[in-house]
Each structure stands twice: as structure tokens, then as C-alpha cells.
């Protein structure tokens, strides 16, 4: 039953699902490494080359869980993409000044994390736009 449910999803919805699973797993892995202490701290904690702290892990986990609830309908996936794009582009902007210097920003993000935030922001724009195309294609009469 679950397999047929996944095959019914349009590609932007599957992309939303995949991105959401990755974000949720990254958040959980981050909490496994950092714990919950020093919420905006600048510890030397890394997950897959990304410097993390509990604040960043919370953002990953929350957006991942939101995406998991919103990927099942094209309209919901579109809203998810439209909301996540500015969130992650702002997260990129907040974390970008810190670069490789630990403790210079609230997210404790290194350049790799900044690149990932930028990539997620642009992926969310693509998801939102693709969902619009899918919704429009469903409304078009077939010739």
C-alpha cells in the first residue's frame, strides 16, 4: 500500500519527501552529536562536514517534520517550498558571515553549512515552481 502511495506522487512531491527526510535525519544526527546544551553555542561539533549547534539542529528537524506532513499533496508541497525558500535563504544570510570562524554567528555555521543552506533554499524554489506546473498540467484538458 505504501509503495503505491509513493508512486502516485508527482516528482516535486517526491523531492519534498526526500528533502524532508534528509533534513529530519540531519537534525536528529546533529542532536546526537551536540546534545541540547549551549543552544546557540560555538562548539566544535560536526555532522557530515557541517558545523552544527542545537539551534541549527532544531531548524533542520522542524523543517524536515513540516515537510514530511506537507509532501502528500501538490498544493501542500508547493506551500512548503514557498515557505522553506525564504527560511533557508535567511538562514544562509545569518550563517554566511561566520564562515570558518567558530562562534561568530548564532548558527555556528561553516562554509559547507552555508552552501547547504543556499542549496536547500534554491531547491525549495524549484519544488514550489514545479508544483505549480504539476497543478496547471492537471487542470489542462487533454487533447
Q: Whole-angstrom Cα distance, residue 33 to residue 128?
A: 32
Report the predicted TM-score, pTM, of the whole model to 2 decimal places: 0.86
List pLDDT tens digits, range 37-88: 888 777 788 899 888 889 989 999 999 999 999 999 999 999 999 999 999 9
Rounded to the nearest integer, the mean pLDDT of the chain is: 87
Burial category of 128 from C-beta neighbours within 10 Å (exposed 0-12, middle 13-18, buried 19 and up): buried
Q: What is the dihedral of CA 53, 87, 90, 58, to 10 degrees?
A: -10
- Nearest partner of 18 among 109, 95, 80, judged by Cα: 80
Q: Whole-angstrom Cα distance, residue 138 to residue 103?
A: 49
Q: Whole-angstrom Cα distance, residue 39 to residue 136?
A: 43
Total domain count, the chain: 1
* 46: three-class secondary structure by DSSP: strand
Domain ranges, residue 87 = 2-139
pLDDT band with cut points at 50, 70 and 90 for residue 123 = very high
Counting every residue written for the chain, the total comes to: 143
Mean pLDDT of 105-125: 88
Amino acid at each position: 500500500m505504501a509503495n503505491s502511495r509513493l508512486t502516485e506522487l508527482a516528482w516535486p512531491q517526491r523531492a519534498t519527501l526526500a528533502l524532508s527526510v534528509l533534513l529530519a535525519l540531519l537534525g536528529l544526527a546533529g542532536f546526537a552529536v551536540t546534545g541540547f546544551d549551549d543552544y546557540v553555542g560555538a562548539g566544535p561539533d560536526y555532522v557530515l562536514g557541517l558545523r552544527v549547534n542545537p539551534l541549527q539542529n532544531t531548524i533542520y528537524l522542524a523543517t524536515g517534520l513540516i515537510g514530511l506532513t506537507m509532501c502528500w499533496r501538490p498544493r501542500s508541497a508547493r506551500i512548503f517550498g514557498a515557505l522553506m525558500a525564504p527560511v533557508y535563504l535567511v538562514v544562509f544570510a545569518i550563517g554566511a558571515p561566520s564562515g570558518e570562524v567558530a562562534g561568530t554567528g548564532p548558527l555556528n555555521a561553516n562554509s559547507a553549512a552555508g552552501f547547504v543552506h543556499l542549496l536547500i533554499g534554491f531547491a525549495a524554489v524549484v519544488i514550489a515552481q514545479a508544483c505549480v506546473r504539476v497543478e496547471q498540467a492537471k487542470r489542462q484538458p487533454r487533447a
